[in-house]
Structure 1
Amino acid sequence: MSRAGLRVRVIAGFAAGALALSATMAFVSYEITRRSLLDERESTNVRAAYYDAAVVRSGISATTSPDVASVLRSLDTGDTRRALVQRNGQWYARNADSGISGSVPAVLQERAAQGSPAVQRIRTDGKPTLVVAIPIAADTVFYEVDSLAELDHTLRVLTIVLTAVALGTALGGAALGWYASRYVLRPLVRVAEAAQEIADGKSDARLDPAQEPDLARLTTSFNHMVDELSARLERDRRFAADVSHELRSPLQTLSAAASVLDRRRELLDERSATAAGLVTDEIARFQQLVDDLLTLSRGDKPAERTPVDVADLARSVCRQRGLGDDLIEVTGDTEWCVDRRRFEQMLGNLLDNAAAYGGGVTAVRLSLSQSDGRLEVDDEGPGVSPADKAVIFDRFVRGRTAGTRGDGAGTGLGLALVAQHAAAHGGAADVLDRPGGGARFRIDLPGCHP
């Protein structure tokens, strides 16, 4: 399982924190409000019950044979309170059928029978109810049953409101986290963009320490690292250029001497002729390597684009290698705005790579869609393994099967030059699997139309 990104974690942290805080506050507020309302309601009901019990006591003690039901009917209990009297084990209510005496808990009855007032909360027909028991004589207990349904409804509404507030606070925390993550990650986004620009070859990309004073150390270190990297690359480029340049003169001398030997091979014995041929071939390979190194050392310069008929150029490059024009497939306009020298070398290196390591070229496709151009070269070899695809365009890298294909005389710089020329155009080089087998090398050149 992949780990969530930093922005997601920041947002989730803010949301979780806001939810935890709001839920805690909501719970505390609910409990305080609930206890306050219940205590106030209980206190009010107890006071009313004592008053009604005094009225009932007076009514019962006024005669020797009191009409208990009549005395109960004289009470003003409102719509929620119901009065009961248990006298000598018999229940009396305002109406003939009390309908509620069975809901009085036995524990409460036992306590009241012992002469102690008591209060208990119960549920009657699924609704909360408060029962107050007040002994008014040795054999008489007054009960008042009060429905708490209205208070229960109020508490449910309060629960809904507090839950909505908690969820709203969590959403607000998530929104704050989103804004905070954008603000906090903004400098890191700039660092990532600058790093991408450097990876794309823009070695002048730098960060401004004044934009984020709190990250001045990071930006300063980043700029110093880029300066050191640029200096190192420049030193490597100069070293390659200087070495290649210094090697050209002795190589030209060796090449001239080797050509003399090659022309006189028929005058030499077989062993000497073979040695002369090997020397000539290796000097030619060495010369090609030096030329490629020089080209790489100068490859950081931008492409000099001009309108070029790439179809004619492709046919010319193919003819130079003994390939027919029937390999070329053209889609769209043939006039692209490219660097002619770089484009010619890109296509030539791809053709040479296909001939040396891919079993030969099967197709060369040129297509222009809107302003983006695409060059594809297919071969009929075994293709490029997934492990090689990641490094196939690096310098001095040849596929794992290079030793089993061709003569192994490549320099390992041809595809690196292809990638460098593509990058100079603002494009990219890639290698894919060709349908039916083989490899497909693809060059995308954005903004090619003149």
Structure 2
Amino acid sequence: MRRLGLRTRVAAAFAVGALLLSASMALVSYELTRQSLLDDRERIALRAAYFDASVVHAGLDTDSPDVVEVLRSLDTGGSRRPVLHLNGEWYARTADPDTTAAIPAELRRIVAAGEPAVQRVRVAGQPALVVGVPLSSSAAYFEVNSMRELEQTFQVLALALTTVAVLVAGSGAALGWYATRHGLRPLTAVADAAQKIAAGDFTARLDPATDPDLTRLSSSFNQMVDQLARRIERDRRFAADVSHELRSPLQTLAAAASVLARRREHQDDRTATAAGLVADEIDRFQRLVNDLIDLARSDQPAHRAPVDVVELAEEACHAYDLPVSLVHLAPGVPPTWHVERRRIAQVLANLLDNAVTYGVGPAAVRLCRDGDSGVIEVDDDGPGVPVEDREAIFDRFVRGRAAHTRGAGDGTGLGLALVAQHAAAHEGHATVVDRPGGGARFRVALPGSLP
């Protein structure tokens, strides 16, 4: 399961916190408002019921009262329905059995005992408030107050508070996202600087004045980069110095081996064989020294200039006695690229040498594009490169498994490392994949080399 990013987690935490807080406040506000409105409604209903009860009591205090007419004389509007219980009989302005049935027996009992009472009930599925007022030992007055409008008010209030809670939660998420974006900006700068350093740009630094709270981190990071740059420069200089120092004795040995080779007809078989082996090893040693010198130089940025890469690829094929028909320029790709000629020439030479030595021979050299990146692809007919070796073969002094199963094994282990280094100098990268139909496809991408 993929883990959520820090920014997403913080934004989610802000959203959940804001939602819990707003929901709690909304719930408390709803309950307080609801209780306050209910209490007010009960007080108003109780006052109105007492007033109407006094009118009814006065109307009944006659010799022959008209109960229905007395009830009709009450100004109760459309939300209050008066009911009178007199001498065991129920009286109302209209025949409505639901109204009398809605009066709870417990409420009637309390009012019959001479105590006023209030109770919330439901009449025909609608909320109502029943108020009972005793008039005499044989009479009790009840009013059934509709609370439908109040319930609608509660629904609107609940909807409004829910909407506010959702908006507050969304605002919390947005605030969390903004806060993390602002707070992680220094870390983004660190990541960008680290990416540049990984690509070989050791001039990347952090500004300690950007954030006072991260001054120590910025200073420590810059010191680490300084030390790393000094160490790499020291190692590069050491490799270059050693390689240069080895050139002189190697040239002397190569000259001596050349003399022995010219006098081979004057030597016995064992001496001639030994001289040949010495000459081969000296040649291999010279190639190793040359590669080390090139590797020591390869850390520098590429010096780009317009270069005809088609011509460069054909020259590389000539150097290995390969047909120039191997070179294919993709349609729509210009032949002139903005690259460093020396580096790209060595990239082509090393890829062709790798294909000849370990891949049975190159099958094609393609020059294509990917956006503004020029792409060099070299296919071979070899066994391919196992997935687990596809990154390691571009390291220094590492050779793939094919190097141990084919050829004489006299490679330096630096050819593909130089390819990767030259690609990185152009801010690109080198990869290897399976070639359709079998074999390997080495691919070098060079960003910014095409118009």
Q: Specify the alignment match of 2:374 in structure 1.
A: 373
Does the CA-based 8 Å contact 1:373-1:444 persist in structure 2? yes
CA offset at residue 154 of structure 1? 1.1
**Alpha-carbon distance between aligned partners in 1 of 2:96 and 2:303, rounded to the nearest angstrom:** 106
Alpha-carbon spacing, 1:270–1:172, altered in 2? closer, same or farther (3 Å) = same
Deviates further, 109-118 or 355-364:
109-118
Q: CA offsets per residue over residues 32-72 of structure 1, 9 Å max, x none?
A: 11111100100111121122222223333433x53322222
**Alpha-carbon distance between aligned partners in 2 of 1:267 and 1:87, rounded to the nearest angstrom:** 150
SS in 2 for 1:129: strand
Alpha-carbon spacing, 1:72–1:369, altered in 2? closer, same or farther (3 Å) = closer
Alpha-carbon spacing, 1:41–1:253, altered in 2? closer, same or farther (3 Å) = same
**Alpha-carbon distance between aligned partners in 2 of 1:89 and 1:233, rounded to the nearest angstrom:** 109
**Residue ranges of structure 2 left out of the alignment (5+ in a row):** none
SS in 1 for 2:31: helix
CA offset at residue 104 of structure 1? 1.5
**Alpha-carbon distance between aligned partners in 1 of 2:274 and 2:142, rounded to the nearest angstrom:** 125
Superposition pairs for residues 148-297 of structure 1, below 5 Å?
148-297=147-296
SS in 1 for 2:393: coil
CA offset at residue 96 of structure 1? 3.9
CA offset at residue 265 of structure 1? 4.5
One-letter amino acid of the structure 2 residue matched with residue 185 of structure 1: L
Superposition pairs for residues 395-414 of structure 1, below 5 Å?
395-414=396-415
Does the CA-based 8 Å contact 2:208-2:214 persist in structure 1? yes
**Alpha-carbon distance between aligned partners in 1 of 2:43 and 2:370, rounded to the nearest angstrom:** 85
Q: Specify the alignment match of 1:351 in structure 2.
A: 352
Q: Does 1:19 align with 2:19?
A: yes
One-letter amino acid of the structure 2 residue matched with residue 401 of structure 1: A
SS in 1 for 2:184: helix
**Alpha-carbon distance between aligned partners in 2 of 1:99 and 1:414, rounded to the nearest angstrom:** 99
CA offset at residue 449 of structure 1? 4.8
Q: Specify the alignment match of 1:114 in structure 2.
A: 113
**Alpha-carbon distance between aligned partners in 1 of 2:252 and 2:6, rounded to the nearest angstrom:** 61
One-letter amino acid of the structure 2 residue matched with residue 72 of structure 1: L
Q: Specify the alignment match of 1:2 in structure 2.
A: 2
Q: CA offsets per residue over residues 395-435 of structure 1, 9 Å max, x none?
A: 11222332112221111110111111122223322222211
Q: Specify the alignment match of 1:442 in structure 2.
A: 443
**Alpha-carbon distance between aligned partners in 2 of 1:299 and 1:169, rounded to the nearest angstrom:** 56
Q: CA offsets per residue over residues 244-268 of structure 1, 9 Å max, x none?
A: 1222222222223333344445554
One-letter amino acid of the structure 2 residue matched with residue 447 of structure 1: G
**Alpha-carbon distance between aligned partners in 1 of 2:242 and 2:126, rounded to the nearest angstrom:** 96
**Alpha-carbon distance between aligned partners in 1 of 2:370 and 2:26, rounded to the nearest angstrom:** 61
SS in 2 for 1:137: coil
**Alpha-carbon distance between aligned partners in 2 of 1:151 and 1:369, rounded to the nearest angstrom:** 68
Does the CA-based 8 Å contact 2:375-2:445 persist in structure 1? yes
Q: Specify the alignment match of 2:104 in structure 1.
A: 105
SS in 2 for 1:66: coil
Q: Specify the alignment match of 1:317 in structure 2.
A: 316
One-letter amino acid of the structure 2 residue matched with residue 318 of structure 1: C
**Alpha-carbon distance between aligned partners in 2 of 1:368 and 1:56, rounded to the nearest angstrom:** 99
One-letter amino acid of the structure 2 residue matched with residue 45 of structure 1: A
CA offset at residue 342 of structure 1? 1.3
Alpha-carbon spacing, 1:171–1:370, altered in 2? closer, same or farther (3 Å) = closer
Q: Specify the alignment match of 2:418 in structure 1.
A: 417
Q: What is the Cα-based RMSD across aligned positions, in Å? A: 2.0
Does the CA-based 8 Å contact 2:59-2:65 persist in structure 1? yes
CA offset at residue 108 of structure 1? 2.1
Q: Specify the alignment match of 2:37 in structure 1.
A: 37
**Alpha-carbon distance between aligned partners in 1 of 2:244 and 2:62, rounded to the nearest angstrom:** 132
For these two proteins, the number of residue pairs brought into alignment is 449
SS in 2 for 1:242: helix
Q: CA offsets per residue over residues 247-301 of structure 1, 9 Å max, x none?
A: 2222222223333344445554444444333332222222211111111111122
Does the CA-based 8 Å contact 1:128-1:152 persist in structure 2? yes
Does the CA-based 8 Å contact 2:391-2:431 persist in structure 1? no
One-letter amino acid of the structure 2 residue matched with residue 139 of structure 1: S
CA offset at residue 207 of structure 1? 0.6
**Alpha-carbon distance between aligned partners in 1 of 2:262 and 2:374, rounded to the nearest angstrom:** 45
Does the CA-based 8 Å contact 1:333-1:368 persist in structure 2? no
Q: Specify the alignment match of 1:124 in structure 2.
A: 123
One-letter amino acid of the structure 2 residue matched with residue 297 of structure 1: A
CA offset at residue 81 of structure 1? 0.5
Compute the TM-score of the two structures, normalised by the length of structure 2.
0.94
Deviates further, 38-47 or 22-31:
22-31
Alpha-carbon spacing, 1:20–1:333, altered in 2? closer, same or farther (3 Å) = same
**Alpha-carbon distance between aligned partners in 1 of 2:2 and 2:450, rounded to the nearest angstrom:** 42
One-letter amino acid of the structure 2 residue matched with residue 80 of structure 1: S
Q: Specify the alignment match of 1:73 in structure 2.
A: 72
Q: Specify the alignment match of 2:60 in structure 1.
A: 60
**Alpha-carbon distance between aligned partners in 1 of 2:21 and 2:301, rounded to the nearest angstrom:** 57
Q: Specify the alignment match of 2:304 in structure 1.
A: 305
SS in 2 for 1:365: strand
CA offset at residue 206 of structure 1? 0.5
Q: Specify the alignment match of 2:365 in structure 1.
A: 364
Does the CA-based 8 Å contact 1:434-1:440 persist in structure 2? yes
**Alpha-carbon distance between aligned partners in 2 of 1:61 and 1:339, rounded to the nearest angstrom:** 118
**Residue ranges of structure 1 left out of the alignment (5+ in a row):** none
Does the CA-based 8 Å contact 1:92-1:98 persist in structure 2? no
One-letter amino acid of the structure 2 residue matched with residue 93 of structure 1: A
Deviates further, 325-334 or 183-192:
325-334
Does the CA-based 8 Å contact 1:120-1:132 persist in structure 2? yes
**Alpha-carbon distance between aligned partners in 2 of 1:321 and 1:122, rounded to the nearest angstrom:** 101
